[in-house]
Amino acid sequence: MNLSSYWVDLHLHTVLSPCAELEMGAPEIVSAYRGAGVSLCAVTDHNDIANAPAIREAAEGDPAVLTGMEIQTAEDIHVVVIFPDDESAVEYRRWLWLSLPDRENDPSIFGYQLVIDHENNIMSERDTLLVQGVGYSVDEVASEACRMGAVVIPAHLDRPSFSYESVLGRVPDDFPCHALELSPAVSHSAFAEWRERYPDRVFVRSSDAHRLSEISRDRCTVMRLAAPSFGEVRMALGGMEGRSVLNPWTWSP
């Protein structure tokens, strides 16, 4: 099977995340990815999956859109989880929300939490605050996601807050995840230290976009895939059958 290089972004926020700008609507996000030449994105709002279908319908396959979420664990660690299909995503959210504290969102403080359709019509608004820690530990969050066949990626490992490193220190070698995410702030020279710290881990760079200007190739990762899809991304993260992640800190187009 022929493999090609695809630009991939596995961390994106929409208007469902209260910390995202209100410009992060479905047609706008799709247009930004097309303009940037990025072939696949994962919608990863905080503790919810509701806007992934809107982005996917607006995209009509360009870019390919995966359903995910950025979970805030009981330790206040952010973990990106990406699902093989919407059915497993809904089931995982049901499990996750069993431990989501019943704290009401105040839009004047945190921002709006809007569920939209592909044309940005507002379908509903989440009342429960999404940017808060759930009751499950980082190990429980990752283990349940892996059990359901999802991809697990500890988020922005280099950041001084809401990262595994800042809260618990080094990610254990036996922690169940498929890659480690570093933010676009990490330079090529600084990456060498991360590679030395985690010699056996796969690294990805993701935009963590909260505004349209943050969607660009220099905030993403290139993967060698047969096509932009969940299954192919999962194979690339595992180095299976020739699929691979082209390290964004050592690879240049």
- At 74, the amino acid letter reads A
How much of the chain exceeds pLDDT 70, in percent? 99
- Burial classification of residue 138, based on how many CB atoms lie within 10 Å of its CB (0-12 exposed, 13-18 middle, 19 or more buried): buried
Give pLDDT tens digits for 153-165. Answer: 999 999 999 999 9
Structure tokens at 176: 């169940």
The per-residue pLDDT of the chain, averaged, comes to 96
State the Cα–Cα distance between residues 161 and 172, nearest whole angstrom: 18
Give pLDDT tens digits for 186-240. Answer: 998 899 999 999 999 999 999 999 999 999 999 999 999 999 999 999 999 999 9
Dihedral sign for Cα atoms in the order 215, 218, 219, 220: positive
Cβ-proximal residues to 77 (8 Å cutoff; 6+ apart), any chain: 138, 154, 162, 163, 164, 167, 168
Q: Where are the domains of the chain?
A: 4-246
Torsion angle in degrees (nearest 10) through CA of 136, 94, 92, 171: -10
CATH of 4-246, one of 3.20.20.140, 3.20.10.10, 3.40.50.720, 3.40.50.300: 3.20.20.140
Segment 15-41 mean pLDDT: 98
Structure tokens at 104: 């009401």
Confidence of residue 103 (pLDDT cuts 50, 70, 90): very high
Can you tell me whether residue 223 is helix, strand or coil? Answer: strand
Left (φ > 0), alpha (ψ -120 to 50) or beta: where does 109 sit? alpha
DSSP 11-24: EE--TTSTTS-TT-
